[in-house]
Amino acid sequence: MRIDEILASSTSPVFSVEFFPPKTDEGREALFETVEVLRELEPSFFSVTYGAGGATREGTLQTTRAIRDDYGVEAMAHLSCVGETLESLQRIVDRIADAGIENILALRGDPPRGETEWNPHPGGLHYSTELIRLIRERFDFCVGAAGFPEGHLDAPDRASDLRYAREKVDAGAEFLITQLFFDNADFYAFRDNARSMGFEVPIIAGIMPIGNVAQIKRFVSMCGHMGVSTTQGSAGCTMGPPAARL
C-alpha cells in the first residue's frame, strides 16, 4: 500500500520504524527477529536506509522486500544519489519497481564516511529534487523526501532550507520525514512555516530513541551540531529518521 494512502486513510496516529540493512548473516537474523517483535505494535510501515555509494544497495532492496512479503508490513526503500551515475539510478529504480515496492524515500545523501563535503558523481545527480523527478517520470511510486526543522548543514539559513523543501514537493514528493530534532519548537516552526508557504503534504516528525550515545553524536555532528542536547524531539510518529540529507 502506498504511504500517501496510509497517511490519508488512517484514523489513528501513524508511526513507522527505520532499519539499517544488515551486513552479516547474524545481523540479518537479528533484524528480522526485531521485525517480528515490532510488527506486533502494528506500525504503519517500516523503512530501510541506503548506504553511501550504494554500500547497502542489495541489502536495502532485499530487506525492504522481505519485510513486506514475509512479515506483511508495508515497507519503503531509501535511495540516494551518492556515488551513483544517472544510468545506475535508473537501473536501481527499475529493480525496486520489479520487486513490487511502491514507496521510495528520495535523498541526496550524506558524504561517504571519511569525507566532509558533498561531491556529486560526475555522471550523476546533484540534488534530491532531480532524483524525485527521475523517479516520478518513470514510475507511479509514492515518493517521500527529507525535511530539516533545524535547517540543513549546507543551507545558508532556515528560510532557504524551507524553499528547498518546497522544491522537493513541487518536484513530486508526497510527504516529508524530518531529520531528528532536539527542540519540539523547531518542528512546530518548520511545520507552521511550511503550511504558510502552501505545503499541503503530510510532514512526519523524525524521532530517534537514544540507545547508542556515540551513534547519536555522530549523527548530530553530521548536521552541524556541536553536542547532544538532553531534550529529544518527541512530537512525531517516525522512529529512527534519516541522517542529514538534502
Catalytic residue set: 18
C-alpha 72/C-alpha 49 separation (Å) is: 19
Give Cα 19 to chain centroid, integer Å. 11
Q: Where are the beta strands (DSSP E) in 108-205?
A: 142-147, 175-178, 203-204
Question: CB count, 10 Å around CB of 135?
Answer: 25
Find the DSSP H helices in 76-183: 86-98, 128-138, 158-171
Task: Say whether 86 sits in a helix, a strand or coil.
Answer: helix
C-alpha cell belonging to residue 123: 555522471
C-alpha 231/C-alpha 158 separation (Å) is: 21
Question: CB count, 10 Å around CB of 133?
Answer: 17
* List of long-range contacts for 96-101, beta carbons under 8 Å, 24+ apart: 96/61, 96/141, 97/138, 97/139, 97/141, 99/61, 99/64, 99/65, 100/65, 100/68, 101/61, 101/64, 101/65, 101/68, 101/75, 101/76, 101/77
Task: Say whether 117 sits in a helix, a strand or coil.
Answer: coil
Q: Can you give the length of the chain in residues?
A: 246
